[in-house]
Amino acid sequence: MRRRLLVVGLGLVFVATYAAAQVGSQSGADKRRSGYRDMGEALQKMQDDDTANPGMLFVQLGSQLWAKPAGVANKSCADCHGADAASMKGVATRYPAIPAGSDRPLDLEGRINLCRTQHQSADPLPPENLDLLALAAFVAHQSRGLPIAPPADPRLEAFRQQGEEIYRRRQGQLNLSCAICHDDNAGKKLAGIVIPEAHPTGYPIYRLEWQALGSLKRRLRNCMVGIRAEAWPLDAPEYTALELYLMERAKGLKLETPAVRP
Amino acid sequence: MDRRLFLAGTAAIVVLPLGPAAATPDAMAEAIKKVIGEATPIEGRMKLDVPPLVENGSTVPLTVSVESPMTEADHVKAIHVFNEKNPQPNVFSARLGPRNGKAMVGTRIKLGDSQRIVAIAETSDGKFWSVGADVIVTLAACLEESP
Amino acid sequence: MSNILVNAPKTAKRGDVVEIKALIMHPMETGFRPGPNGRIIPRNIIERFTATWNGAEIFAMDMSPAIAANPFVSFFAQANESGTVVLRWTGDEGFAAEHRVDITVA
């Protein structure tokens, strides 16, 4: 235990890796990189092979739930959206979004819960619930390979700005902002791990650290805990604002759901 | 200033569940002895594929293979994998035979810390073979206090 | 009902050596970890994986808590005759799951 702390302490030095290469990146080419590219070959292979990617077990569960009637309405997702879910193609690329008749953005999990309450007369599923994650993974998987395409809805702008403000704000006992790590020090090493650019390309992800599937909110929460900031409860609107900003920042990058991450 | 605080802070948040006494190289040697008895394993014929540096110890891909014709007369009967530092030295024991055609087994293991992994194979002629590999485990930077 | 993903060829030439890969949803709880209340979470692992080809065992693996959650196993099999490969996982708390694949050998 003590030895491991020591190792961590020593390792916690920002080691420049390809940072030098990033200097003068004004050439116009898109230099943004998904966290996929920061992983070693073994983990990339794990993500790429559909029968080796543990996230695919949850996509499979999601496809089973898709066809299963639920709620007082006793209707399945498939009853309204089609058995093959082709109607879900591209949907995950444009969330969070504001649903009809509302003025607040919802992320994909929130949109699925809206269908549960509105269309299935069922209770909403709690954050990080296995069935909710599996459904979200199944829906987002239909967009794998498609570029992130946030909607043009002008009403989203205020929320996105709130997200960017959170992203740039120094917070927590370590007084760090997301931007200090993910913009200024992306590509450098922290305790042996490459700091990724924080693009939400693969959610829900199978995170090895969790040994389970988890949402972008849970991932963001981990970073907040990491800088010893007060993390909001998982249903706080701040996460949706951050998600909106991160999706805009990652616009055009391809979705990978279900991604594998360390 | 920032960095100093950051160093101190992040090091402090790496809270590890204190497990029971971990396996030791001795415990591993004992576990191996249980499998091979007094035999001395020969280094060779085996390959242990595991990334030398892993980003997260909770899911480490590992493949063990043994050069063998895998015939009725000459085949691998078993492959065992051991580790030094997990709470238990045994990782897995696989039973094989001529019907496998190829003596190669893959899985994913948990490694709580950087350590040495040893694989032992038993062939149909009663001999034991071995191979080892060192794995360095880095720690995830942003953990959660509780799930 | 367990979630299982298996990768095996549907057809093979006689004598071919084919790879079979299998992934199953399971927590592989080690029995060494304290839960949120500080108490140790009881061990819950898959202890054994077996594969039979037309009833005859061709591969078996005893697993320990050191096998990662949602266990993955890959191994090889010589395709001698058409038949059914049955993969079986058993473990703590009465866990039992099975998956069948038919392989046609020509």
> Cα distance from A111 to chain B (closest Cα, Å)?
24
> Which tokens sit at B122?
């038993």
Phi, psi for A45 (deg, rounded to 5): -65, -40
Q: Tell me the mean pLDDT in the region A147-151.
A: 98
- Domain ranges, residue C85: 4-32+40-105
Judged by CB atoms closer than 8 Å, whether chains meet at A222 and B2 is answered as no
Contact (CB<8Å) B99/C33:
no
Marked catalytic residue, from A77, A80, A178, A223? A223
User: Catalytic: A77?
Assistant: no
Which CATH number covers residue C98?
2.60.40.10
Burial A115-136 (b: 16+ CB within 10 A, else e): bbeebbebebbebbeebbbbbb
Could you tell me where the beta strands, DSSP code E, fall in A91-226?
A: 189-190, 193-194, 205-207, 212-214
- How far, CA to CA in Å, does A196 sit from each of A39, A178, B26, B141? 9, 11, 39, 11
Q: How confident is the model at residue A132 (pLDDT cuts 50, 70, 90)?
A: very high
In this complex, the residue of A60, A211, A212 whose CB is nearest that of residue C5 is A60
Q: In this model, does residue B127 exceed pLDDT 60?
A: yes
Which residues in chain B are contacts of C74 at CB distance < 8 A?
A: 63, 104-107
Mutation target among B107, B109, B111, B137 for the C interface, most CBs of C within 10 A: B107
Burial class (CB in 10 A: 0-12, 13-18, 19+), B83: buried
Picking from A139-143, A201-205, A224-228, B80-84, which range would have the lowest pLDDT averaged per residue?
A: A224-228
How many angstroms separate the CA atoms of B109 and A171, rounded?
A: 36
Which pLDDT value is given to residue C92?
Answer: 97
Residue, of A159 and A18, whose pLDDT is higher: A159
Q: Is the ipTM of this complex over 0.90?
A: yes
Average pLDDT of chain A, as a whole number: 89
- Which of A250, A244, A251 minimizes the C-alpha distance to A164? A244
- The domains of chain B, with CATH numbers, are 22-137 (2.60.40.2470)
Banded model confidence at residue B142, pLDDT cuts 50, 70, 90? low
- Strands in C4-7's sheet, in edge-to-edge order, are B46-49, B60-66, B103-109, C72-78, C17-24, C4-7
Supply A99's token pair. 């649903």
Q: Which two tokens stand for residue A34?
A: 């998904």
Using an 8 Å CB-CB cutoff, list residues of chain C that contact chain A. 1, 3-7, 21, 23-25, 27-28, 68-70, 72
Q: Both tokens of residue C91?
A: 């473990």
C-alpha B136: how far from its chain's center?
12
Chain A residue at shortest CA distance from C68: A211
In chain C, residues with a C-beta closer than 8 Å to the C-beta of B87 are 30, 32, 65
Residue with the bigger pLDDT between B8 and A167: it is A167
**Tokens describing residue C102:** 């038919």
Summarize pLDDT for A84-115 with one digit per residue, the tens.
999 999 999 999 999 999 999 999 999 999 99
Q: What is the mean pLDDT of residues B90-115?
A: 95
d(CA A186, CA A197): 5
For chain A, what are the domain ranges? 36-262
Lowest mean pLDDT among B20-29, B65-74, C23-32: B20-29
A112 φ/ψ angles, rounded to the nearest 5 degrees: -65, -40
> Is the distance from CB of A71 to CB of A233 less than 8 angstroms?
no
If one looks up domain A36-262 in CATH, what number appears? 1.10.760.10
Cis peptide bond upstream of B61, omega within 30: no
pLDDT attached to residue B8:
33
Instruction: Write out chain A residues lying below 8 Å of C68, CB-based.
Output: 211
Q: How many domains does chain C have?
A: 1
Chain centre to alpha carbon of residue A113: 17
pLDDT digits (tens, 9 = 90+) for C46-73: 999 999 999 999 999 999 999 999 999 9
Please, which chains are in contact with C (at least 3 CB pairs closer than 8 A)? A, B
For the entire predicted model, the pTM comes to 0.89
Residue A229 phi, psi dihedral angles, 5° rounding: -100, 160
Mean pLDDT value of segment B79-101:
94
User: What pLDDT, in 10s, does the model give residues A6-58?
Assistant: 233 323 334 333 333 343 444 578 889 999 999 999 999 999 999 999 999 99
pLDDT number for residue B112: 84
- The pLDDT, as a whole number, for residue A160 is 98
C68 and B95 within 8 Å at the Cβ level: the answer is: no
Burial class from Cβ neighbours inside 10 Å (0-12, 13-18, 19+) for residue C93 reads exposed
